[in-house]
Amino acid sequence: MTFTYQKSVPPELINSAVSLYVDALKDKVVPVLGDTTRAISVLTDNLVPGRCLAAICDDKLVGILAIQTAQGGFFSPSMQSIISEYGWVQGLYRYAGLFFLHHETKCDEWYVDGIAVDKDMRGKKVGTALLGRLEIMAKENGIRKISLEVIDTNERARSLYRRLGFVETKQTAIWPFNYLYKFPFKTVITMEKELNDDNKFYQSF
Ligand SMILES: CC(C)(COP(=O)(O)OP(=O)(O)OC[C@H]1O[C@@H](n2cnc3c(N)ncnc32)[C@H](O)[C@@H]1OP(=O)(O)O)[C@@H](O)C(=O)NCCC(=O)NCCS
Protein backbone atom coordinates (compact mmCIF):
# COMPACT_ATOMS: atom_id res chain seq x y z
CA MET A 1 0.00 0.00 0.00
CA THR A 2 1.62 3.26 -1.12
CA PHE A 3 0.60 6.61 0.28
CA THR A 4 1.44 9.92 -1.32
CA TYR A 5 1.18 13.27 0.42
CA GLN A 6 0.27 16.56 -1.23
CA LYS A 7 0.22 20.16 -0.09
CA SER A 8 -3.34 20.71 -1.28
CA VAL A 9 -6.46 18.75 -2.17
CA PRO A 10 -6.80 18.16 -5.91
CA PRO A 11 -10.14 19.46 -7.30
CA GLU A 12 -11.50 15.96 -8.00
CA LEU A 13 -11.02 15.00 -4.32
CA ILE A 14 -12.59 18.05 -2.68
CA ASN A 15 -15.92 16.31 -2.03
CA SER A 16 -14.11 13.40 -0.37
CA ALA A 17 -12.05 15.84 1.70
CA VAL A 18 -15.13 17.64 2.99
CA SER A 19 -16.96 14.38 3.81
CA LEU A 20 -13.95 12.98 5.65
CA TYR A 21 -13.41 16.22 7.55
CA VAL A 22 -17.05 16.59 8.60
CA ASP A 23 -17.39 12.94 9.59
CA ALA A 24 -14.24 12.95 11.71
CA LEU A 25 -14.89 16.33 13.32
CA LYS A 26 -18.67 16.05 13.60
CA ASP A 27 -18.76 16.68 17.37
CA LYS A 28 -17.49 20.22 16.77
CA VAL A 29 -18.72 21.08 13.28
CA VAL A 30 -22.23 19.62 13.08
CA PRO A 31 -23.67 21.29 16.24
CA VAL A 32 -22.59 24.69 14.87
CA LEU A 33 -23.57 24.19 11.23
CA GLY A 34 -26.87 22.40 11.89
CA ASP A 35 -26.68 18.95 10.38
CA THR A 36 -24.25 16.89 8.34
CA THR A 37 -25.70 17.78 4.92
CA ARG A 38 -25.66 21.50 5.71
CA ALA A 39 -22.15 21.26 7.17
CA ILE A 40 -20.90 19.57 3.98
CA SER A 41 -22.51 22.22 1.81
CA VAL A 42 -21.12 25.17 3.85
CA LEU A 43 -17.64 23.68 4.04
CA THR A 44 -17.55 22.94 0.31
CA ASP A 45 -18.43 26.56 -0.46
CA ASN A 46 -15.83 28.00 1.91
CA LEU A 47 -12.84 25.71 1.54
CA VAL A 48 -9.30 26.84 0.74
CA PRO A 49 -7.84 23.65 -0.81
CA GLY A 50 -4.22 24.83 -0.50
CA ARG A 51 -4.33 25.12 3.29
CA CYS A 52 -4.03 21.45 4.06
CA LEU A 53 -2.03 18.30 3.62
CA ALA A 54 -3.73 15.44 1.83
CA ALA A 55 -2.85 11.74 2.01
CA ILE A 56 -3.76 9.76 -1.10
CA CYS A 57 -3.73 6.02 -1.78
CA ASP A 58 -4.79 4.50 -5.12
CA ASP A 59 -6.25 7.85 -6.26
CA LYS A 60 -8.47 7.98 -3.15
CA LEU A 61 -8.21 10.56 -0.41
CA VAL A 62 -7.42 8.70 2.84
CA GLY A 63 -6.35 11.52 5.13
CA ILE A 64 -6.53 15.25 5.54
CA LEU A 65 -4.82 17.70 7.86
CA ALA A 66 -6.27 21.20 7.85
CA ILE A 67 -3.73 23.97 8.45
CA GLN A 68 -4.46 27.38 9.87
CA THR A 69 -1.79 30.06 9.67
CA ALA A 70 -1.89 33.75 10.58
CA GLN A 71 -3.17 34.29 7.02
CA GLY A 72 -6.21 32.04 7.44
CA GLY A 73 -7.46 28.48 7.57
CA PHE A 74 -8.66 25.57 5.45
CA PHE A 75 -12.27 26.41 6.28
CA SER A 76 -12.60 30.20 6.19
CA PRO A 77 -16.21 31.33 5.88
CA SER A 78 -17.04 35.01 5.96
CA MET A 79 -19.91 36.24 8.13
CA GLN A 80 -21.70 37.24 4.93
CA SER A 81 -21.51 33.70 3.50
CA ILE A 82 -22.94 32.21 6.71
CA ILE A 83 -25.74 34.79 6.83
CA SER A 84 -26.62 34.19 3.19
CA GLU A 85 -26.79 30.44 3.89
CA TYR A 86 -28.86 30.59 7.12
CA GLY A 87 -30.51 34.03 7.21
CA TRP A 88 -29.77 36.79 9.74
CA VAL A 89 -30.79 35.24 13.07
CA GLN A 90 -29.58 31.69 12.46
CA GLY A 91 -26.55 33.05 10.61
CA LEU A 92 -25.40 35.23 13.50
CA TYR A 93 -25.94 32.36 15.97
CA ARG A 94 -23.93 29.97 13.80
CA TYR A 95 -21.20 32.49 13.01
CA ALA A 96 -20.79 33.11 16.76
CA GLY A 97 -20.34 29.34 17.18
CA LEU A 98 -17.64 29.30 14.50
CA PHE A 99 -15.99 32.28 16.15
CA PHE A 100 -16.01 30.39 19.43
CA LEU A 101 -14.24 27.43 17.78
CA HIS A 102 -11.76 29.71 16.01
CA HIS A 103 -8.17 29.71 17.22
CA GLU A 104 -6.29 32.99 16.77
CA THR A 105 -3.00 31.97 15.16
CA LYS A 106 0.21 33.94 15.71
CA CYS A 107 2.74 34.74 12.94
CA ASP A 108 5.23 32.10 14.09
CA GLU A 109 2.60 29.43 14.70
CA TRP A 110 0.68 26.88 12.61
CA TYR A 111 -2.53 25.48 14.06
CA VAL A 112 -3.88 22.06 13.11
CA ASP A 113 -7.52 22.85 12.42
CA GLY A 114 -8.48 19.18 12.30
CA ILE A 115 -6.89 15.95 11.18
CA ALA A 116 -8.88 13.01 9.84
CA VAL A 117 -8.00 9.61 8.44
CA ASP A 118 -10.48 7.37 6.64
CA LYS A 119 -11.94 4.79 9.09
CA ASP A 120 -10.57 1.84 7.09
CA MET A 121 -7.08 3.35 7.03
CA ARG A 122 -6.63 4.25 10.68
CA GLY A 123 -3.75 2.76 12.62
CA LYS A 124 -1.50 2.63 9.52
CA LYS A 125 0.55 5.68 10.50
CA VAL A 126 -1.11 8.04 8.01
CA GLY A 127 -1.88 10.49 10.83
CA THR A 128 1.69 10.27 12.10
CA ALA A 129 3.01 10.92 8.58
CA LEU A 130 0.70 13.91 8.04
CA LEU A 131 1.85 15.50 11.31
CA GLY A 132 5.46 14.70 10.45
CA ARG A 133 5.21 16.39 7.08
CA LEU A 134 3.50 19.36 8.64
CA GLU A 135 6.41 19.72 11.04
CA ILE A 136 8.97 19.63 8.22
CA MET A 137 7.02 22.23 6.22
CA ALA A 138 6.57 24.42 9.29
CA LYS A 139 10.30 24.42 9.99
CA GLU A 140 11.04 25.25 6.35
CA ASN A 141 8.72 28.25 6.73
CA GLY A 142 10.38 29.50 9.91
CA ILE A 143 7.48 28.49 12.13
CA ARG A 144 8.36 28.00 15.81
CA LYS A 145 5.26 26.26 17.14
CA ILE A 146 2.54 23.85 16.04
CA SER A 147 -0.64 23.89 18.10
CA LEU A 148 -3.92 22.01 18.07
CA GLU A 149 -6.99 21.44 20.18
CA VAL A 150 -8.49 18.11 21.11
CA ILE A 151 -11.75 17.46 22.91
CA ASP A 152 -11.70 15.69 26.28
CA THR A 153 -13.55 12.63 24.92
CA ASN A 154 -10.92 11.88 22.23
CA GLU A 155 -8.37 9.98 24.27
CA ARG A 156 -6.85 8.11 21.30
CA ALA A 157 -6.03 11.26 19.37
CA ARG A 158 -4.71 12.82 22.56
CA SER A 159 -2.30 9.93 23.15
CA LEU A 160 -1.14 10.09 19.51
CA TYR A 161 -0.29 13.79 19.90
CA ARG A 162 1.52 13.11 23.19
CA ARG A 163 3.56 10.37 21.52
CA LEU A 164 4.57 12.85 18.81
CA GLY A 165 5.86 15.38 21.33
CA PHE A 166 2.87 17.67 21.84
CA VAL A 167 2.36 18.86 25.38
CA GLU A 168 -0.87 19.98 26.99
CA THR A 169 -0.74 23.69 27.75
CA LYS A 170 -4.33 24.53 28.59
CA GLN A 171 -7.70 22.99 29.42
CA THR A 172 -10.73 25.15 28.63
CA ALA A 173 -14.19 24.37 29.96
CA ILE A 174 -16.63 25.33 27.22
CA TRP A 175 -19.65 26.00 29.47
CA PRO A 176 -22.13 27.52 28.58
CA PHE A 177 -21.39 26.82 24.90
CA ASN A 178 -21.92 23.07 25.36
CA TYR A 179 -25.56 23.93 26.24
CA LEU A 180 -25.97 26.70 23.67
CA TYR A 181 -24.70 24.58 20.74
CA LYS A 182 -25.31 21.08 22.19
CA PHE A 183 -21.65 20.13 21.93
CA PRO A 184 -21.20 16.54 23.21
CA PHE A 185 -18.06 17.47 25.16
CA LYS A 186 -17.23 19.80 28.03
CA THR A 187 -13.53 20.59 27.82
CA VAL A 188 -11.10 21.45 25.05
CA ILE A 189 -7.43 20.69 25.56
CA THR A 190 -4.82 22.84 23.85
CA MET A 191 -1.63 21.00 22.91
CA GLU A 192 1.53 22.55 21.50
CA LYS A 193 4.85 21.47 20.10
CA GLU A 194 7.75 23.88 20.05
CA LEU A 195 9.91 23.36 16.97
CA ASN A 196 13.64 23.53 17.27
CA ASP A 197 16.58 22.24 15.27
CA ASP A 198 17.44 19.58 17.86
CA ASN A 199 14.23 17.68 17.13
CA LYS A 200 15.15 15.35 14.27
CA PHE A 201 12.37 12.80 14.89
CA TYR A 202 10.53 13.46 11.65
CA GLN A 203 13.44 13.46 9.24
CA SER A 204 12.47 10.05 7.87
CA PHE A 205 9.13 11.32 6.48
C1 LIG B 1 -6.66 10.54 15.14
C2 LIG B 1 -6.35 10.05 13.73
C3 LIG B 1 -6.20 11.23 12.81
C4 LIG B 1 -5.05 9.25 13.78
O5 LIG B 1 -4.72 8.83 12.47
P6 LIG B 1 -4.10 7.40 12.22
O7 LIG B 1 -3.61 7.34 10.82
O8 LIG B 1 -5.04 6.36 12.64
O9 LIG B 1 -2.87 7.47 13.23
P10 LIG B 1 -1.54 6.61 13.20
O11 LIG B 1 -1.78 5.31 12.52
O12 LIG B 1 -0.44 7.46 12.74
O13 LIG B 1 -1.32 6.39 14.73
C14 LIG B 1 -2.24 5.57 15.36
C15 LIG B 1 -2.21 5.95 16.77
O16 LIG B 1 -3.30 6.81 16.95
C17 LIG B 1 -4.14 6.23 17.89
N18 LIG B 1 -5.46 6.26 17.30
C19 LIG B 1 -6.28 7.29 17.51
N20 LIG B 1 -7.46 7.01 16.96
C21 LIG B 1 -7.36 5.81 16.34
C22 LIG B 1 -8.26 4.99 15.60
N23 LIG B 1 -9.54 5.35 15.43
N24 LIG B 1 -7.82 3.82 15.07
C25 LIG B 1 -6.55 3.44 15.27
N26 LIG B 1 -5.66 4.17 15.99
C27 LIG B 1 -6.07 5.34 16.52
C28 LIG B 1 -3.69 4.86 18.22
O29 LIG B 1 -3.68 4.75 19.62
C30 LIG B 1 -2.30 4.76 17.63
O31 LIG B 1 -1.35 4.87 18.63
P32 LIG B 1 -0.08 3.85 18.61
O33 LIG B 1 0.62 4.02 17.29
O34 LIG B 1 0.71 4.29 19.79
O35 LIG B 1 -0.69 2.50 18.74
C36 LIG B 1 -7.46 9.11 13.20
O37 LIG B 1 -7.61 8.04 14.07
C38 LIG B 1 -8.80 9.77 12.99
O39 LIG B 1 -9.09 10.27 11.92
N40 LIG B 1 -9.65 9.78 14.02
C41 LIG B 1 -10.96 10.41 13.92
C42 LIG B 1 -10.87 11.92 13.82
C43 LIG B 1 -10.16 12.52 14.99
O44 LIG B 1 -10.38 12.12 16.12
N45 LIG B 1 -9.32 13.51 14.69
C46 LIG B 1 -8.59 14.23 15.70
C47 LIG B 1 -9.34 15.44 16.11
S48 LIG B 1 -8.37 16.42 17.24
Q: Is the CB of 6 under 6 A from ligand 1?
A: no
pLDDT digits (tens, 9 = 90+) for 33-75: 999 999 999 999 999 999 999 999 999 999 999 999 999 999 9
Residue of 68, 117, 133, 204 best suited for mutating to test ligand 1, as the one with most atoms within 8 Å of CB = 117
Strand-pairing partners, residue 169, are none
Is residue 200 a part of any domain in this protein? no
Q: Atom 10 of ligand 1 has which residue's CA nearest to it?
A: 125
Looking at the structure of the chain, the number of domains it has is: 1
**Overall pTM > 0.85:** yes
The total of other beta-carbon atoms located within 10 Å of residue 109's CB is: 19
Is residue 71 a part of any domain in this protein? yes
Is residue 65 a part of any domain in this protein? yes
User: Domain containing 100 — which CATH number?
Assistant: 3.40.630.30
Residue 1 scores a pLDDT above 90: no
Residue 76 scores a pLDDT above 90: no
Q: For position 114, what pLDDT does the model report?
A: 96
Is residue 43 a part of any domain in this protein? yes
CA of 83 to the centre of ligand 1 (A): 35
Percent of the chain with pLDDT over 90: 92
pLDDT digits (tens, 9 = 90+) for 11-44: 999 999 999 999 999 999 999 999 999 999 999 9
pLDDT digits (tens, 9 = 90+) for 141-183: 999 999 999 999 999 999 999 999 999 999 999 999 899 999 9
Q: Is the CB of 11 under 6 A from ligand 1?
A: no
Nearest of 28, 30, 107 to residue 72 by alpha carbon: 107
Residue of 122, 150, 155 best suited for mutating to test ligand 1, as the one with most atoms within 8 Å of CB = 122
Is residue 47 a part of any domain in this protein? yes
Instruction: Give the confidence band of 205 by pLDDT, cuts at 50, 70, 90.
Output: very low
CA distances to 69, 134, 135, 157 from 143, in Å: 10, 11, 9, 23
Max Cα–Cα distance, the chain, nearest Å: 51
Question: How far is Cα 87 from Cα 90, in angstroms, rounded to an integer?
Answer: 6
Domain coverage including residue 19: 3-194
Is residue 202 a part of any domain in this protein? no
Strand-pairing partners, residue 26, are none
Is residue 203 a part of any domain in this protein? no
Q: Atom 42 of ligand 1 has which residue's CA nearest to it?
A: 24
